[in-house]
A and B are shown apart, each in its own frame.
Chain A
Amino acid sequence: KQEVTQIPAALSVPEGENLVLNCSFTDSAIYNLQWFRQDPGKGLTSLLLIQSSQREQTSGRLNASLDKSSGRSTLYIAASQPGDSATYLCAVNGETSGSRLTFGEGTQLTVNP
C-alpha cells in the first residue's frame, strides 16, 4: 500500500527566505507526483505535476524535483512572500492504484512579513 509522508508538518519563515518542503513515498511505481496548495476554507489548487520520467518542473518561484528511485520529492519556494502562506500537499498517482491519488498530510507554511 502506497504511503506518502510530508516533512515538516508546519514551517514558519520570515519573508524573503528560500525554503524547501519534503515529500516521500513508499512505492516507486508511480505515473506522476503532484503538488497542491490549499488555502483555509478552500479547495486544492494544482501547482506542479511531475511525470515519473521527469526530474523537475518549474513554475515561477516554484520548483519541484522528483527522485523516483529513492521515493522523494521536494518543493522549493524562492523568495517567499506572505501570500505563499497556505498548506502544501503532495500526492502520488500510483501505477497500481487505478488513477487514484494518495495524499500526504501536508505542510502548513506561514511566511511572516
Chain B
Amino acid sequence: NAGVTQTPKFRILKIGQSMTLQCTQDMNHNYMYWYRQDPGMGLKLIYYSVGAGITDKGEVPNGYNVSRSTTEDFPLRLELAAPSQTSVYFCASSYEGGKYQPQHFGDGTRLSIL
C-alpha cells in the first residue's frame, strides 16, 4: 500500500517559473491537504479539498492554485515562483475530516526558488 505519494522529491526553480507539485493517494480518502513547512517551523495549510471538485483556501494560499478532478489526485501549482515560496511542501489525506482518524502524509517536496 503506497499511501500518499509526492513527486518530485526535490526541485530548483528560477524566479518567475511555474511548476506543478503532484500528489496522489491510494487509500480512497475524501479529504486532501497541502501544507508548507519553513525551516524550524510547524506546518501551515495552503489549500485543502473535501472531495473531487471541491477545494478551499487554508492559512497561506497566496501564490498557489489547486484542482481536484479525481479522488486520488490533488496537484498544487505555483504560477510565478518567488523566493518566499522556498519551502518543503507536504501533501496529506484523511478518510474524513480528521475528527476520528489521523491525516496521512507524503514524504514531501523540497523546493528552492533562486
Contacts and interface: CB of A to CB of B under 8 A. Distances in A.
The finding on whether chains A and B are genuine partners in a shared complex, rather than unrelated, reads: yes
Interface of A: 4, 31-32, 34, 36, 41-46, 49, 51, 89, 91, 93, 98-101, 103-106
Contacts, number: 66
A4 B98 contact: no
B107 interface: yes
A4 B108 contact: no
B48 A99 contact: yes
B105 A89 contact: no
Contact of A93 (B48, B56, B58, B98): B98
B108 A101 contact: no
A91 B102 CA distance: 10
Contacts of A103: 42-44
Interface string B32-72: 01000000111111001010000010110000000000000
B74 interface: no
A60 B20 CA distance: 40
Contact of B90 (A34, A43, A91): A43
Contacts of A99: 31, 48, 50, 94, 96-99
A42 B108 contact: yes
